[in-house]
Amino acid sequence: MTPADLVLHASWVLPVDPQDAVLVDHAVVIGDGRILAVLPSDTARQRYDAAREQAFPDHVLLPGFINAHTHAAMVLLRGLADDLPLMTWLQEHIWPAEQRWVCPELIRAGSRLAALEMLRGGTLCCNDMYYFPEVTAEVLAEIGMRGLIGMILLDFPTVYAEGPDQYLRLGLALHERYRGHPLIRTAFAPHAPYSVADESLTRVHALAEELGVPIHIHLHETADEITQSQRTYGLRPLRRLEGLGLLGPRLIAVHMTQVTADEIELLATTGCHVIHCPESQLKLASGFSPVARLKAAGVNVALGTDGAASNNDLDMLGELRTAALLSKGVAGSPAALPAHQALRLATLDAARALGLAEETGSLEPGKSADLIAVDLGQPETQPVYNPVSQLVYAASRSQVRQAWVAGRQLLRDGQPTGLDAAAILDEARYWGRRIAGAP
């Protein structure tokens, strides 16, 4: 018998690739933090001598969710300003609050709270864009979660940096610090075309090519963004980025609610990735990303929550349900974005967008053992005719019971194994009182 560290048995295993595969009474075999095999439970017992075995009846095993766009520490601004248009929300509420309160201590507290929330909901990896990214990277690495951490860039001074030169200097130091890290990678994160000038975007493109890292940017989020770009540059933002050389497989374009047929074709031919954030886009009335049309054209689409200040949660299971339902309404077809495709947006397609598909996003031999167990034995998800449908259309994040990253268990029976939840909540309440001006 072949030795293994851990064998996990479940009523169903969803490997995600092939995307419609549902494996009944299967097991995932883990060794040295990697998946050794996915096979029937009876066969696993015959072939592998496991140091530990765990059985999860009425559970489904699947890859951990990947939040392909968020601003983790903004959980501490959750509910601060709601029911406002994007630019009013940003310019009159969020940016002033950030200028007053953002500091490494707030980022640490917010990142810890965000990590706790994401972990409890089955999200094991996130693509983050926010100030003091070195702090968020440190928090995720300490916890054992996976992260693509944005080297933030704006053309105006903030609490984090005085201008483009300092932003890039700090970003490159972050990249160097985590070079070769097993869990943390970096991406350039210019905020948006309206907040970053051509010269800075050109520098980002050159550095991204040199270092081999992605570029993560808000793009075509609102109709006003398009109008302003045409007024200032004579071009729509996507065409402006094309002229600067940024379009290609490295580009992670977030939102893309305002797109023409020609732009969809351009995204497809250049290999750009689109991150869909349906709940934030709905709440800010930014528009509807045409997910079905993008996918039909061959564009890789992934899923993100955006920050909790505009969502107002980091619930990827809820996000993928919203994505599936909204896509049907936008496309005018109940067959648009079926459950198994929605699940893929939050797992393997997200890993592809972040450049992590060789490491995570599906349950395949050789990949990192990043997976979750969801309890479908609850009244809300019974009976189970199709576990993928139950997961997408009926399950809640509270049904995520177990989670492992690189074979290390981070969630056991719904509770984090290495986080002091009470202390994290105390920190969150402390910052909430300060920001609210309470004594």
Give the residue from 33, 37, 10 showing the smallest Cα distance to 363.
Answer: 37
> For the chain (length 439 residues), average pLDDT per consecutive 10?
97 94 98 98 97 98 98 96 86 90 97 98 98 98 98 96 97 98 98 97 98 98 95 97 98 97 98 98 93 97 96 96 96 96 98 98 98 98 98 98 98 96 97 85
CATH topology of domain 65-353: TIM Barrel (3.20.20)
Dist CA 292 CA 329 (whole Å): 10
b or e along 222-242 (b: 16 or more beta carbons within 10 Å of the residue's beta carbon)?
Answer: beebbeebeeeeeebbbbbbb
The strand ranges marked E within 71-196 are 123-128, 146-153, 184-190
Give the residue from 205, 342, 197, 189 showing the smallest Cα distance to 252.
Answer: 189
| Contact indicator for 401, 59 with CB cutoff of 8 Å | yes
pLDDT for the residue 119: 98
What homologous superfamily does CATH list for 2-63+369-406?
Urease, subunit C, domain 1 (2.30.40.10)
pTM attached to this predicted model: 0.97
pLDDT for the residue 438: 66
Domain ranges of the chain: 2-63+369-406, 65-353
